[in-house]
Chains A and B, each alone.
Chain A
Amino acid sequence: MAKMTLADLRALRDAKKVDIKKRATEGKEGRVIIGMGTCGIASGAKVVLDEFLTQLDKYGITNISVTQTGCMGLCSVEPTIEVIVPDMPDIIYGNVDKATVETIVKEHIIGNKLVNDHIIDRPASDIMSDDGDK
């Protein structure tokens, strides 16, 4: 790939804006929050972030934001993520790897179906802040 300039990046952004496809998640605004504390990083949270971008792009989903937070107090089941989409409960998933990311995008975000094998209980209240670290 040739080295892009900021002007190239601007042109890419403009092209993407014009190219609005029908989305699999039309009408939904959602959020994926990735635990990126020391524990998350050590367990592969960076790979999870990378894979979310790949999968969301693959399915043409542009209305889900991807953000980061620190340790959620669930170090033993890192990488952890929280998925917040309309019509679904807010869910924390643990032990998330590359393959799990695709399952979460397909089943939870697009299909409104929980990915039961990876659901984790809420962390201890002494570690989460009052707003749930959101």
Chain B
Amino acid sequence: MHRYLTDYILDITQNSFEASSTNVVLKIDEEDRYFSFFISDDGSGMSQEVLSKVLDPYYTNGIKHKSRKVGLGLSFLVQTIKDTGGTFDIKSKIGEGTVVMSSFDLCNIDTPPIGDIPTTLLALISSPQAKNFSIERNIKTKLGNSSYQLARSELIDVLGDLNNSSSLFMLREYLRSQEDSLVEYYVDRKLIY
């Protein structure tokens, strides 16, 4: 299992990059009680038959690792959601793409902490498999609301090579400043036992 909710975002968004997608959109919504993410891609998609098996940890299509018998990404996510009273949905169509929707109840004691959003976004934006990738991060709590948007193409336009450590360092500064602008709307959640 992953330690942070952002680890699930990183893991599942990589699936979209690996599905021969050109466009991937990640939307992260945070409210007083719920933390949700939506990942949509225009990649290869899955048939109904494959879709019915993807949540099984012992199912993999065998393309990435031909001798492997496990596929844990989505299984981890769904197990955690089931354990913590969240919601999950996946829709996919061959040739059209896949949409994954997850929502976590931040007041459930077993829900993992959110984790480091800037570094997660940095790992995704600099992923060698990403093409057109855009991110929308929203927060809407009793303290107010705000958001920021990111487009990988714009960041490459400014920074050039996203493998170079000094470009990545600057990208991290940028991403941290975006997330910092939302801090005033963070709320303390009381756990419901």
Instruction: Report which A residues bind B (CB closer than 8 A).
Output: 1-4, 6, 8-10, 12-13, 16, 36, 38-39, 41-42, 44, 46-47, 49-50, 52-53, 56-57, 61-62, 64-71, 73, 126-127
Given contacts A41-B10, A46-B123, A73-B65, A4 and B173 within 8 Å (CB-CB): yes
Query: Are A56 and B65 in touch, CB under 8 angstroms?
Result: no
Contact between chains at A70 and B64 (CB < 8 Å): yes
Q: Say whether B23 faces chain A, with CB atoms less than 8 Å apart.
A: no
Interface of B is mostly: helix
Q: B: which residues have CB within 8 A of A?
A: 1-3, 6-7, 10-11, 14, 64-68, 72-73, 76, 115-116, 119-120, 122-123, 126-128, 148, 154-155, 158-159, 161, 163-174, 176-178, 180-181
Nearest CB of chain A from residue B63's CB, rounded to whole Å: 12
- Please tell me if the beta carbons of B122 and A9 are within 8 angstroms of each other in the complex: no
Q: Closest residue of chain B to A10, judged by CB?
A: B158
Chain A to chain B: the 3 pairs with minimum beta-carbon distance, closest first? A3-B181, A65-B163, A62-B166
A95 to B73, CA, bound (A): 21
- B13–chain A nearest beta-carbon distance, Å: 11
25 pairs, A vs B, C-beta closer than 8 Å: A1-B180, A3-B148, A4-B173, A6-B155, A9-B170, A9-B171, A10-B158, A13-B167, A36-B10, A36-B127, A38-B72, A41-B2, A42-B2, A42-B3, A46-B116, A46-B123, A49-B119, A53-B169, A56-B165, A57-B165, A62-B164, A65-B164, A65-B165, A67-B126, A70-B64
Interchain pairs with CB closer than 8 A, number: 112
B2 neighbours in A (Cβ, 8 Å): 41-42
Chain B residues with CB under 8 A of A69: 128
Minimum CB–CB distance from A100 to chain B (whole Å) comes to: 17
Given A38-B73, A42-B2, A73-B65, answer yes or no on A52-B165 (Cβ-Cβ < 8 Å): yes
**Smallest Cβ-Cβ distance to B165: which chain A residue:** A56
Q: A13, B3: Cβ atoms under 8 Å?
A: no
For B163, what are the chain A residues with a Cβ–Cβ distance below 8 Å? 65-67
Residue of A nearest to B176 (CB): A1
Are B128 and A13 in contact, with the CB atoms below 8 A? Answer: no
Known: A1-B177, A53-B172. A64 touches B73 (CB 8 A): no
Do B126 and A68 touch (CB < 8 A)?
A: yes
Q: Are B170 and A13 in contact (CB under 8 A)?
A: yes
Taking A1-B176, A9-B171, A38-B73 as given, write out 11 further A-B residue pairs in contact, using a Cβ cutoff of 8 Å, ordered by the A residue number: A8-B174, A13-B158, A36-B10, A42-B3, A49-B119, A50-B122, A53-B169, A62-B165, A68-B126, A127-B67, A127-B68
